[in-house]
Amino acid sequence: MRVITGSARGTKLNTPEGENTRPTTDRIKEALFSMIQFDIEGRTVLDLFAGSGQLAIEALSRGASRATLIDSSRDAVNIIIENAKKTHLYEKCRISAADYKSFIRGASGREKYDIIFLDPPYASGLIPEALAAISEGNIASEGSYIICETESTIPPKASRLKKDASYAEKIIMEDVFGGREELAAKYEVVKSSLYSHTRITVLTPGKAEK
């Protein structure tokens, strides 16, 4: 696992051991950042389930101004600190061992973020709860991007199903919003794309005018 481009390009990153951490592959990471490549420079970043810290570090390498990296695992936080120092981006980082809900409660009314990464363990089902907490805490700035990484259950060779927009909408409602229409109403889906077994969904707060 490495930083793909920017000031820390090519730097190899360490990864926490254990089943609770699932590093985003370079291919998916490149696809993810291509979705927001013109909206990174000078932005503030929050990674709520940071793991190795690779997503926030990649954003900093590409020109984000600062990043807050949160993980409930102390072992993961130690790895994040190592990686931030290896990439010479530590001074732009705020790194904390905390539960995501506790962090959002503390940040509510005090902090806003332009890019928020949500990449918890697939089986955790935490993305809908995190989105609800982000909305309630009002920590996403106007025009911000919230990037959700979820597992795809579509078989790799099911090309017709992959292109079915109505099916994708159904899956996003279930996996990203937990089937909660009132939660989905708080966000606009900017883009959602499938990469092998992973779906990347980019949201922004509020609904776009029709």
Q: Give the best-scoring range by mean pLDDT among 30-34, 145-149, 162-166.
A: 145-149
Q: What is the pTM of this model?
A: 0.91
Predicted local distance difference test score (pLDDT) of residue 154: 61
For the domain made up of 26-205, give the CATH fold. Rossmann fold (3.40.50)
Q: Are the CB atoms for 46 and 25 separated by under 8 Å? A: no
Burial label, 121 (beta-carbon count in 10 A; 0-12, 13-18, 19+): middle
Q: How confident is the model at residue 6 (pLDDT cuts 50, 70, 90)?
A: very high
Asked if pLDDT for residue 29 goes beyond 50, the answer is yes
Find all residues with CB under 8 Å of 151, minimum gap 6, and list them: 122, 175, 197, 198, 199
For residues 145 and 202, is the Cβ–Cβ distance under 8 A? yes
Per-residue confidence (pLDDT) for residue 209, from 0 to 100: 39
Cβ neighbourhood burial of 155 (10 Å; 0-12, 13-18, 19+): exposed
The model's pLDDT over 70-109, given as tens digits with 9 standing for 90+, comes to 999 999 999 999 999 999 999 999 999 999 999 999 999 9
Domain boundaries, the chain: 26-205
